Structures are given as C-alpha cells and as structure tokens.
Amino acid sequence: MRRYFFDASAAVKLYVVEPGSTTVREMVRGARATPPHTQVLVCDIVLPETLSALLQIRRSPTAARRGISAAALRLVLPQVWVDLGGEGPMLVRTASETLRAASRIVERHELRAPDALHIAAALDINATHPVLFVSGDREQLKVARAEGLEVIELAA
C-alpha cells in the first residue's frame, strides 16, 4: 500500500482548482476506496493551516477561478473538518509527538516551525512505514529530501 503524507499546501489542493489538485484527489480517492489501496496521513496542524489558506484564497482576486466562492466555501469548510479532523479517510498524527524533532529541523535548516512539524511527523511515521511526502512548497521539499524523505512535488 502506498502511503502519502500531505502538508497543508497539498491538503488545500483537495478543495480548490489549481495545478496538482487532480493528483491529490486521486491519492485521497485511493484512501476512500473499499478496500483502500492508499493511505493518506497528515499532522494535526494541517487543519488550521488549511482552513486559514482557504479563507485567504476566498479573499483573493483568484477565488472564483480556484472554485472558492462564498457559497462554495460554506460547503467546503464542513468537509475540511471531517477530512482533516480525524473523521475522514486521512490518518492524523499529533504535532506534539514530534515537537523536539521539529525543533531540531528548524535549527538545522532555518525552516518555518509549521513546515518542520509536517516533516518531523512524516519522518516519525516513515521510520516504521515508508511514506511519500507530498507538498507544493519547494523549500519544505528541499528540507524533506535532506532529512531523508522521498517526496512528490506538486505544482505550486
């Protein structure tokens, strides 16, 4: 079974129309299948990060083109809570379990704390079950590779 670890830039693509959205939706479709043939994992900080990103997109001039009108957002937000809050097909890892490892990543690579938390959570899972780290953030992907993760780069 293929295991994918999404950061927030990947999770957002599940709800908007932009490059990489189809790839992310296929990965999640595999996790929703019966029986599932993929597994999608996230760190719990992906929920507030994704909600924040969607609300920022809604206020941007590209909102309509990306499929996030006010009406669409009202429909999407409850689904985000299900998908990323532990009720949907994605398995959620708690950030607090990886704070020390994330802090070391921040110190080594001068990376933003949320990005380091995603990488640390993925590394923790990867130690027992190989994962592919999925992101559209090139700087974060560079660090993920340096830390030993296999990555899938989504179009930004």
Segment holding 142, helix H or strand E: helix 138-146
Q: What is the pLDDT of residue 5?
A: 98
**What's the pLDDT at 100?**
97
The 10s digit of each residue's pLDDT in 70-93 is 999 999 999 999 999 988 889 999
Say if strands 132-135 and 2-6 run parallel, antiparallel, or are unpaired. Answer: parallel
- Over 80: is that where the pLDDT of 156 sits? no
Helical spans, DSSP H, in 5-137: 8-12, 21-32, 46-58, 70-84, 99-109, 113-126
Q: What's residue 3's pLDDT?
A: 97
What's the confidence (pLDDT) of residue 155? Answer: 84
Helix (H) or strand (E) segment spanning residue 38:
strand 38-43
Element (H, E) at 140: helix 138-146
State the Cα–Cα distance between residues 10 and 135, nearest whole angstrom: 5
- What's the pLDDT score for residue 34? 93
Total count of residues recorded for the chain: 156
